[in-house]
Chain A
Amino acid sequence: MNVVVLIKQVPDTYGERKLSPEGRLDRDVSDVIIDEINERAVEIALQLQEDVGGEVTVVTMGPKSAVDTIRKALAMGANKAIHIVDDGLAGSDALQTSGAIAAALKTIEFDLVIAGNESTDGRSSAVPAMLSERLKVSLLTNLVTLSVAQGSVAGTRSVENGTMEVRASLPAVVSVAEKIADPRFPKLKGVLAARRKPITTLSISDLGLFPLEAGGENSWTQVNDVIAQPARTSGTVITDDGTAGTQLAGFLAAAKLI
């Protein structure tokens, strides 16, 4: 069974993150890393491969520097990678991104596409669902368990008020939540092997995209205004002298919070 894992380079959420006045991520101020949820997606793909065989291909769309993200996934054990990279793609929105990824996936054979449920930067959760629609395959999102048997994928899907057991026939696109699996650490052997694993790069023309289908200028969504929220400031901090609980109740009552 051939599995594709979608991965993305994002600013480290443990560091500073900034938006440009155009509403794009300012990559210069942030450390960029593989989104943690993608490591979990790669992990579950590798576990499936250990069970049923086949190849794991990681696919990313992003600037040249995103190759570091690819190497990380290859070092974990993925077999090969596709890097969609073109200056003309900068600023693409989810609808455009899903179109480019769908075009890239038409160049390979796959049974299952695994994505993270939500990136830590855009957080729209839109690309997996858009991709399923473009590829005309079934969709299961927010899975916390995942198994594959007899031409179908099944798992537990986490929703607001509980969980549901779900299934879909293959090929399918699924997204996974944090609980799906703890990622393995790449071993030195894996890091060295990753250098020799194939990475195919695809540009806008390789994908056969129309110019209007790529880039922030042609994006379906346009940012009109970016407002930085004022930073929070510290209020009263007291050290407990044995009455702090009562004092806090007084503060809450004065603020009409209780």
Chain B
Amino acid sequence: MGKILVLAEHDQHALKDVTRELLAAAARIGEPVAVVVGLPGTGDALLAELGAAGAKTAYVAETEHAEDVLATPAVLALETVANTVDDIAGILIASSVDGKDVAARLSVRLNTGLIADAVNVEESDGTVMATQQVLGGTYSVKSTVRGIPIITIRPGTIEVTQPTSAQPSKITIDIVVDPVGSGQVVARDEDEIASSGRPDLRTADIIVSGGRGIGSKENFAIIEQLADALGAAVGASRAAVDAGYIEHKAQVGQTGATVSPRLYVAVGISGAIQHLAGMQSAKTIVAINKDANAPIFQFADFGIVGDLFEIVPQLIKAVNARRSDELINI
């Protein structure tokens, strides 16, 4: 088995969860090798965490432009490592907004194929094969690449491995980043969902989504209350987003987030194909809608026809009651 390069995503101080997932995926198909691109000092800050997540080696490229130049530093670092290290069998990158840019540009530089948004990777007879879910999760497609495969992996789809205490060997690489000719970052702004303490929509275990049936921006609070009772992320149908009940980031569906949580609770959502394309791979689907003919009921494991404003408060109460029962039993 060859070396699998993993582009580490981090916030300069700590790894993002997806990096541990990428390293776990890399271990399935070869020897995990991390590539870290960051501000000066980042490599040493992340080395122990990378080792714990399974990296045997870490190539570190540090540059003052790590935060203010888009994609180019990572493309240069990966290109450098790919062209100097022998026996590379694959390159794994997070299927994030930044990761997708890096992977696509690298694919041209190295003149090798790209498989986007994979949910699994495996190795057989020395060939790396990636699985994608396509057309709204209605098909699962396995593909290979001529040459070294570059694969972006959907966050939240790969189970992480048990932490180890190994310290990876650190190899410093030099890159020269010229900001001219690259996209540049002028300012950053973190949004409310990210700081709300709720789980991230794309990787959440449980999601509560509201649709047009919620009726108003004010009423959408009922979705947030149910989400908090269940420890869930908040989602929405396109109709709810278009009506201005909630921001676009919460949109689940063909043109929003694709999610596959353990539990998806659709409240006041009719279940247009557009929406189903983003959530039908959820393990369990629950639907609450006043229209008995809503298409969502054809997909739901448990459906309730009725007034959501009666049902949801009762559900929140029942969930909280079970929680406090558990606490008493402990």
Closest residue of chain B to A157, judged by CB?
B97
Asked if A87 is at the interface of the complex by the 8 Å CB criterion, the answer is: no
Asked if B12 is at the interface of the complex by the 8 Å CB criterion, the answer is: no
B287 to chain A, nearest CB (A): 8
With a CB–CB cut-off of 8 A, which chain B residues contact A258? 230, 319, 322-323
CA gap between A250 and B304 in the complex, in Å: 13
CA gap between A125 and B96 in the complex, in Å: 10
Asked whether A223 lies within 8 Å of B96 as measured between CB atoms, the reply is no
CA gap between A141 and B186 in the complex, in Å: 15
Q: Would A227 and B140 be within 8 Å (CB), given that A98-B108, A167-B184, A234-B298 are in contact?
A: yes
Checking B101, B186, B191, B311 against A248 with a beta-carbon cut-off of 8 angstroms, the contacting residue is: B311
Checking B71, B114, B299, B310 against A95 with a beta-carbon cut-off of 8 angstroms, the contacting residue is: B114
Checking A23, A125, A128 against B116 with a beta-carbon cut-off of 8 angstroms, the contacting residue is: A125
Asked if B215 is at the interface of the complex by the 8 Å CB criterion, the answer is: no
Asked whether B135 lies within 8 Å of A129 as measured between CB atoms, the reply is no
Asked whether B105 lies within 8 Å of A165 as measured between CB atoms, the reply is no
- Which candidate, B48-56, B83-91, B144-152, is the interface stretch facing chain A? B144-152
Asked whether B314 lies within 8 Å of A229 as measured between CB atoms, the reply is no
Asked whether B104 lies within 8 Å of A235 as measured between CB atoms, the reply is no
CA gap between A138 and B178 in the complex, in Å: 11
Asked whether B129 lies within 8 Å of A224 as measured between CB atoms, the reply is yes
> Quick one: CB contact mask for B187-220 with A, threshold 8 Å, 1 for yes?
1111100100000101000100000000000000
Asked whether B146 lies within 8 Å of A14 as measured between CB atoms, the reply is no
With a CB–CB cut-off of 8 A, which chain B residues contact A233? 298
Checking B280, B304, B313 against A240 with a beta-carbon cut-off of 8 angstroms, the contacting residue is: B304
Asked if A140 is at the interface of the complex by the 8 Å CB criterion, the answer is: yes
Asked whether A237 lies within 8 Å of B319 as measured between CB atoms, the reply is no
Asked whether A129 lies within 8 Å of B143 as measured between CB atoms, the reply is no
- Which candidate, A44-52, A60-68, A116-124, A184-192, is the interface stretch facing chain B? A116-124
Main SS of the interface on chain A?
mixed
Asked whether B114 lies within 8 Å of A221 as measured between CB atoms, the reply is yes
Main SS of the interface on chain B?
mixed
Asked if A178 is at the interface of the complex by the 8 Å CB criterion, the answer is: yes
* Most chain A beta carbons < 10 A, residue from B97, B133, B144: B97
With a CB–CB cut-off of 8 A, which chain A residues contact B321? 249
Asked whether A142 lies within 8 Å of B97 as measured between CB atoms, the reply is yes
> Quick one: CB contact mask for B258-289 with A, threshold 8 Å, 1 for yes?
00001100000000111001001100111010
Asked whether A132 lies within 8 Å of B105 as measured between CB atoms, the reply is yes
With a CB–CB cut-off of 8 A, which chain B residues contact A252? 263, 286, 319
Closest residue of chain B to A14, judged by CB?
B273
Asked whether A220 lies within 8 Å of B302 as measured between CB atoms, the reply is no
With a CB–CB cut-off of 8 A, which chain A residues contact B262? 257
With a CB–CB cut-off of 8 A, which chain B residues contact A163? 188-189, 191
Asked if A225 is at the interface of the complex by the 8 Å CB criterion, the answer is: yes
Q: Would A168 and B318 be within 8 Å (CB), given that A220-B146, A234-B299 are in contact?
A: no
Q: Would A234 and B135 be within 8 Å (CB), given that A142-B97, A166-B184, A249-B319 are in contact?
A: no
Asked if A108 is at the interface of the complex by the 8 Å CB criterion, the answer is: no
Asked whether B306 lies within 8 Å of A228 as measured between CB atoms, the reply is no
Asked whether A121 lies within 8 Å of B139 as measured between CB atoms, the reply is no
CA gap between A240 and B191 in the complex, in Å: 37
Asked whether A139 lies within 8 Å of B183 as measured between CB atoms, the reply is yes
> Quick one: CB contact mask for A214-258 with B, threshold 8 Å, 1 for yes?
000001111111111100111111111011111111111101011
With a CB–CB cut-off of 8 A, which chain B residues contact A137? 181
Asked whether A126 lies within 8 Å of B107 as measured between CB atoms, the reply is yes
Asked whether B314 lies within 8 Å of A95 as measured between CB atoms, the reply is no
Asked whether A13 lies within 8 Å of B277 as measured between CB atoms, the reply is yes
Q: List 15 A-B contacts (CB under 8 A).
A: A14-B272, A37-B255, A95-B114, A125-B104, A130-B107, A138-B182, A138-B183, A141-B183, A160-B194, A169-B180, A220-B112, A225-B141, A229-B140, A240-B306, A251-B286
**What is B's interface to A at a CB cutoff of 8 Å?**
70-71, 96-98, 100-101, 103-105, 107-109, 111-117, 129, 133-147, 180-191, 194, 200, 202, 206, 230, 248-249, 254-255, 262-263, 272-274, 277, 280-281, 284-286, 288, 292, 297-307, 310-319, 321-323
**What is A's interface to B at a CB cutoff of 8 Å?**
13-15, 17-19, 23, 36-37, 93-95, 98, 118, 120-130, 132-134, 136-142, 154, 157-169, 172, 177-179, 219-229, 232-240, 242-253, 255, 257-258
